[in-house]
Amino acid sequence: MNDPIVNKVAESGLITVDPADYYPKEDVKTFDLKDFLYMGMILKEKEFRQSLKDLDWEQYRDKNIAVTCTADAIIPVWAWMLVATYLQPVAGEILVGSEKELHKLIFLKNLSQINVNEFADKRIVVKGCGDTPIGEFVYLELTRLLQPVAKSIMYGEPCSTVPVYKKK
């Protein structure tokens, strides 16, 4: 009865990877081309160029920008390019698409910074519970990145895991 309490989880050699550690924390803002359309549907080149020139671009400083057009309009390719020339010097990431797509791009970029060699021949648990909303794409990407080097990959918490991969 005097046996010491042993923390088997701590002794198991499991390494926990928490996807929330790579969650994008940067500000995201939308740049909507609809605000620059004549009558909400036509892009007039001269007016568009002048509007961009007159815009205070500092509002986008160090923010990640999702460039979109929520109006049902045909936007010429050069218009997207012109917007990029103004955003590039001040903004962080720039993407044509929604804020959700930009969030995904940044999340994947953050995951790509993982030094997978730190996980060589390790038993890894990818944390599955938490307060931060994590998309399925994150778990797929973590598995894709870690599988070539890991001894095993599990999902969940160290006390209760679901096996995903084991090196043969």
- Per-residue pLDDT band for 107 (boundaries 50, 70, 90) equals very high
What are the pLDDT digits (tens) for 31-84? 999 999 998 889 999 999 999 999 999 999 999 999 999 999 999 999 999 999
- Best CA proximity match to 62, nearest among 89, 41, 35, 83: 89
What are the pLDDT digits (tens) for 88-98? 999 999 999 99
d(CA 27, CA 64): 6
pTM: 0.81
d(CA 168, CA 149): 12
